[in-house]
Structures are given as C-alpha cells and as structure tokens.
Amino acid sequence: MPVNPKSMGEQIYALRKGKGITQNDLGERLSVSPQAVSKWERGETLPDTAILPDLANVLETSVDNLLCGGQRQMQYKRKVTVAEIAEGIACFEKLGELLGRDSYFYLGAIEGVDRKMNIEFEKYLSESFTREAMIAEALIQCLMNGAYVDPSDVRKNFTHEHWVNIVLKYTDRYGIK
C-alpha cells in the first residue's frame, strides 16, 4: 500500500498537537526547519526516511503508524488476553508446586527470569502490585512482538490503574484503539 502524504501529515499533526509540541520544537528535535514540519503536516512533502525513527520516537508512536496515517496495516500475529498472560505467569508457581521448589526445573526457570529481568521473580509474584507488573511486562513484550490485546480487556482486568496506564500507552504506540 503506497504512503498517502495527506494522511501521514494529518497523523504527524495530531500526534504533535497531542504532545503539546510546536512545529518549531519538533523541527529542532529532528534538526529540520519548522517549514519542513509544516510541509509534512500539509501533505506537501514526506519526511526523509532517515528521520522516521526519530520522528516516531519523539511522537511516541511507531514508524508504521506514521506511514499508515494512524491506520494499522499490520496483521497481528496473535491475540492475547490479560487472563491468558496471568495464567502463564501462574504456571511458574504451579511448576514449583508440582515439581517442588527445590527441583532443578523450577529453580532453573526462576533463576532464568531473575537473571534476564534483574529481579527476584518469586518476591514479585507474592505482592499484588508487583505481580501485575509482571503481567504488564509480559503483555508489553507480546505487543512488541506483534500481538494484539484489546484495550478494554486491559481496563477491566488490572486492579492497579498504574499498570493499566502503562499497557495502554503501548497499545496506543502500536496503533491499537
């Protein structure tokens, strides 16, 4: 699908305004003139491809979202739910129950998570707030790997508003409404 300069410009404008950034500020951050930003937003020209990653970063979105004018074109690899992710996290605990907490399988799984994430996984699972942190982190990883999660599912199934807001920031970043 070809890039529609008008749609892309409208998306840049909407995201920039939503962040409270002026054309001048955006231009300074990207080392381009405010006139260049204005031309992008009017759909007269497109940003240079070398600028797109930085533009997406400043506007807290993806290059795909910019190029598609805010319309998600990518097919999701899979759909995940908060309940499925929570169940996956709970499987670590179940592994400890079934095999024993002194089992090499259990210890290896926990040590792997501890080392990879630089945390004490068992301690995180013992408290509601940090347990939801693990669920949120797993959901974000899924989103980054092309999964879809329904924002209403996120709103309904987290207890702590903090994690709702974090996950929804990523659903927005990946163009999921």
Distance CA 49, CA 1 (A): 17
In b/e form, how buried is each residue of 121-160, taking b as 16+ CB within 10 angstroms?
beebbeeeeebbbbbbbbbbebbeeebbbbeebbeebbee
**pLDDT tens for each residue of the chain, 177 residues long:** 578 899 999 999 999 999 999 999 999 999 999 999 999 999 999 999 999 999 999 999 888 888 887 765 556 789 999 999 999 999 999 999 999 999 999 999 999 999 999 999 999 999 999 999 999 999 999 998 889 999 999 999 999 999 999 999 999 888 887
Residue-level pLDDT at 177: 78
Return the H-helix or E-strand segment holding 168.
helix 161-173
Distance CA 90, CA 125 (A): 9
Give DSSP secondary structure letters for 105-126: HHHHHHHHHHHHHTS-HHHHHT
Distance CA 48, CA 61 (A): 17
pTM attached to this predicted model: 0.60
Residue-level pLDDT at 175: 80
